[in-house]
Amino acid sequence: MIKVMGLKKYYGEKLILDIPNFTFEKGKIYSVIGKNGAGKSTLIKILSGIVSLDEGKLEIERENTILSPQEPMFFKGDVWYNLTEPFKLCKKKISTDKLEKLLKKFEIDYLKKASINSLSGGEKAKVQFIRTVLYEKDCIFLDEPTASIDKKSSFLVEEILLELKKMGKLIVIITHDHDQARRISDTLLEIDEAKLLKRGT
Ligand SMILES: Nc1ncnc2c1ncn2[C@@H]1O[C@H](COP(=O)(O)OP(=O)(O)OP(=O)(O)O)[C@@H](O)[C@H]1O
Ligand SMILES: [Mg+2]
């Protein structure tokens, strides 16, 4: 569970977020929509602890969260290295069987030895999504994970998110795809004029 209390975030004079009270519950998917510059990425960066808040409080188990940022970040190296090295660094054992299955599912297993820089935008997004899943965290924050991914693979992402939800994970996903938001979310949220508004359940 994540509790947001009296959160305010400014950039300069501009109030970006003003959220008096909101609770994110375990085992639920929250979709966040809103126009460009609305403050969606800022919100999940605050939840992840990358960006500080100016006022208010958060109740959150930080070590149990993972953020998949809007702009993917990788190590120099091949796909396999990018899907194994991060876990070595944080001393997490991952199942190579699970990794192999995910690569096959997204039809990028043949790219294992390819340099990450040679991948297309969508292929990189798939690698980033797989890496996010492998962390096996309880709270998963995804910033437009399917923006550059084809339809078939987007549905695969949705399917996996629904499975993770069934396992009790809390998922916050930012998307501009309103149909996707309606398909998968328990709660549809919109950031509008700094407010976090419930648009449906
Ligand atoms: N580090 C920063 N310094 C100053 N302003 C910032 C900073 N980061 C974001 N902003 C501003 O805050 C506002 C919200 O940005 P944010 O990235 O959260 O938007 P967003 O809703 O994710 O938009 P998009 O749909 O384009 O990804 C924007 O106007 C942006 O220019
Ligand atoms: Mg954004």
Structure-token pair, residue 44: 């999940």
What separation in Å is there between the alpha carbon of 92 and the centre of ligand 2? Answer: 29
What is the sign of the dihedral through the CA atoms of 52, 161, 164 and 126?
A: negative
What is the pLDDT, as a whole number, of residue 186? 97
> Closest Cα to residue 152, out of 108, 189, 182, 95?
108
What span, in angstroms and rounded, lies between the C-alpha atoms of 46 and 39? Answer: 10
Domain count, the chain: 1
In the predicted model, residues of the chain with pLDDT beneath 70 are: none
Give nearest CA residue, ligand 1 atom 7.
Answer: 11
> Closest Cα to residue 176, out of 30, 22, 31, 28?
31
Could you give the maximum distance between any two Cα atoms of the chain, in Å? 50
Structure-token pair, residue 111: 């790219």
What is the pLDDT, as a whole number, of residue 87? 96
The pTM for the full model equals 0.96
What is the pLDDT, as a whole number, of residue 200? 86
Ligand 1 proximal residues by C-beta, below 6 Å: 11, 16, 34, 36-42, 70
Give nearest CA residue, ligand 1 atom 30.
Answer: 37
What span, in angstroms and rounded, lies between the C-alpha atoms of 54 and 14? Answer: 12
Model pLDDT for residues 69-96, shown as the tens digit of each residue = 999 999 999 999 999 999 999 999 999 9
The ligand that comes nearest to the alpha carbon of residue 38 is 1
CATH number at residue 41: 3.40.50.300
Reduced to 3 states (helix: H, G, I; strand: E, B; else coil), residue 153 is helix
Structural domain that includes position 163: 2-200
Give nearest CA residue, ligand 1 atom 27.
Answer: 36
